[in-house]
Amino acid sequence: MSAAERGRIGIDALLERVRGTYDRVSPAQAYAESTAGGAVLVDIRYQALRERDGLVPGALVIERNELEWRLDPQGSHRLPEAVSHDLRVIVFCDEGYASSLAAASLHALGLHRATDMTGGYQSWRAEGHPTTGPADT
């Protein structure tokens, strides 16, 4: 096996590795932290999923390809909410996979309190937390 081949890992191993670097939160924990005002929920799902399934009220919508630019407190394209590297960010995607990689990327930018939500939007909705949109009808 070549050195390049030894350095390769699959996505499952990568997810396990990055998830081991921070504590993930459940939908119930995410709800509690966001309603207490201590955390910003960030929805990274693409538009078609948001249109199909609905939204989490109060969550920032930042599609995955813009996440780092919008949340980097030192970035020129940051959102007003991106005030500090101490910001508590809870990222979620549809089922809790892409959000793990997104949280790891935010850690690389120095957002050391960033995490993701287990099970993503689908678990949030299944647990009965507030949503708005098509899934409500």
Confidence of residue 4 (pLDDT cuts 50, 70, 90): low
Structure confidence at residue 134 as a pLDDT band (50, 70, 90): confident
| Cα–Cα distance measured from residue 105 to residue 39, given in angstroms and rounded to the nearest whole number | 18
Which CATH number is 79's domain given?
3.40.250.10
**Is there a domain that residue 32 lies in?**
yes
pLDDT digits (tens, 9 = 90+) for 107-133: 999 999 999 999 999 999 999 999 998
Residue 96 has pLDDT above 90, yes or no: yes
Whole-number percent of the chain with pLDDT over 70: 94
- Residue 14 within any structural domain of the chain: no
| Cβ-proximal residues to 89 (8 Å cutoff; 6+ apart), any chain | 39, 40, 42, 71, 103, 106, 111, 113, 114, 115
- Which pTM does this prediction carry? 0.91
For the chain, what is the domain count? 1
Q: Where are the alpha helices (DSSP H) in 54-110?
A: 67-71, 98-108
State residue 3's pLDDT score: 57
Q: Decide if 8 is inside a domain.
A: no
Q: Could you tell me the residue range of the domain that residue 63 belongs to?
A: 27-127
100 pLDDT band, cuts 50/70/90, is very high
pLDDT in tens, 66-90: 999 999 999 999 999 999 999 999 9
Q: Is residue 18 part of a domain?
A: no
**Residue 49 reports pLDDT greater than 70:** yes
Q: Is 7 part of any domain?
A: no
Q: Is the residue at 15 inside a domain? A: no
**Residue 54 located in a structural domain:** yes
Q: How far apart are CA 98 and CA 12, in angstroms?
A: 12
Question: Within a domain: residue 97?
Answer: yes
Q: What are phi and psi of 71, to 5 degrees?
A: -110, -5
